[in-house]
Amino acid sequence: DTGVSQDPRHKITKRGQNVTFRCDPISEHNRLYWYRQTLGQGPEFLTYFQNEAQLEKSRLLSDRFSAERPKGSFSTLEIQRTEQGDSAMYLCASSLATSGSTDTQYFGPGTRLTVL
């Protein structure tokens, strides 16, 4: 297993454009998370999936943000009408939730978004 992968690694876009990021979790991990991280800060939780169900969304996730995990495997995060404040590193993490074990989240390399 090669770990969590994300695509693209870098994205530069103009304000007002839509962008979509993809995350492929570790195989058989049933939980998937999206975080946003800005310089000098820790990752901030955006949303969480258990299999294909989106179970929690942070209030940071405005109406311009949408995430899907259609088949319970890979996930996409779309930002519509991007704003300069959306510039950040978008991190994806996955975990395997089983009873009696630590639900450790393993992170992907992130997608760095720059909005001009």
Partner 1 sequence: GQNIDQPTEMTATEGAIVQINCTYQTSGFNGLFWYQQHAGEAPTFLSYNVLDGLEEKGRFSSFLSRSKGYSYLLLKELQMKDSASYLCAVTTSGGYQKVTFGIGTKLQVIP
Instruction: Based on the shown chain and the rule CB under 8 A, indicate whether residue 34 belongs to the binding site for partner 1.
Output: no
Give the chain's radius of gyration (CA, Å). Answer: 14
Which of these ranges, 16-24, 47-55, 66-74, 76-84, lies near partner 1 under the rule CB under 8 A? 47-55
Instruction: Based on the shown chain and the rule CB under 8 A, indicate whether residue 19 belongs to the binding site for partner 1.
Output: no
Which of 91, 88, 65, 98 is closest to 5 using CA atoms?
91
Q: Binding pattern to partner 1, positions 54-73, x when CB under 8 A?
A: -xx-----------------
At 60, the amino acid letter reads L
At 29, the amino acid letter reads H
Nearest approach in angstroms of CB 84 to partner 1 is 20
> Residue 62 gets which letter from DSSP?
-
Instruction: Based on the shown chain and the rule CB under 8 A, indicate whether residue 83 belongs to the binding site for partner 1.
Output: no
Q: What is the dihedral of CA 22, 113, 8, 75, to 10 degrees?
A: -10
Instruction: Based on the shown chain and the rule CB under 8 A, indicate whether residue 48 belongs to the binding site for partner 1.
Output: yes
Q: Which of 45, 52, 72, 74 forms a contact with partner 1 (CB under 8 A)?
A: 45
